[in-house]
Homo-oligomer: A and B are copies of this chain.
Amino acid sequence: MKLLEDRIREEGVVKDGDVLKVDMFLNHQMDVALFREMAKEWKRLFDGEGVNKILTIEASGIGIACIAAEEFGCKVVFAKKTQGKNLDGELLTTQITSFTKGRVFDVIVAKKFLGPEDRVLIIDDFLANGCALEGLISIVRDSGATLVGCGIAVEKGFQVGGKKIRDMGVHLESLAIVDKMNADGSITFRQ
């Protein structure tokens, strides 16, 4: 998606250790006008697939998921990374490793929010090694819901996540795929 690639080129910052900071518009400050265009693109890419629930994971997936949900006319469920006092009842759980945060999270969704009647689109901001997405996919499968696919904002195409998820046969649509972050700070996108 050219609009997103342009924003990454203009406002993204390449840091040591293959870190790409997009906190100007995606995951700390959030540009909801851009989110609306991204949402329309996911709607186009998954149109006619009967999506009736969007699943994401806290925290930075929530904004894009909510805007996307308006396009699909459905509700959002966000997976929680720790079990708070207010979360009880039957739970769908998995574990994911966050390399950014350097630790393992328990990830939880209340069972009552995902079931066989749901056709689920997973939305998240980043796809790198794919651990978070694999966790969300396993939650969808455990729930008995149908996984329609995954919509990602920024995929790091030089990490294994995208290949892993596509090799599982999942319909994955990343709006921008970064194939290379160059020493001069420029970014090469997949065509």
Please give the residue numbers on chain A whose beta carbons come within 8 Å of chain B beta carbons, in ascending order. Answer: 15, 19, 21, 23, 25, 28-33, 35-36, 58-60, 62-63, 65-67, 69-70, 73, 75-78, 80, 82, 84-87, 100-102, 109-110, 113
Residue numbers in B under 8 Å from A113 (CB-CB): 28-29
Question: Do A110 and B30 contact each other (CB < 8 Å), given the known contacts A63-B66, A66-B66, A78-B59?
Answer: no
Stoichiometry, as copies per complex, reads 2
Residue numbers in B under 8 Å from A80 (CB-CB): 28, 59
Question: Do A66 and B69 contact each other (CB < 8 Å), given the known contacts A23-B110, A28-B80, A30-B77?
Answer: no
A78 CA / B30 CA spacing, docked (Å): 8
Q: How far is the CB of A165 from chain B (nearest CB, A)?
A: 22
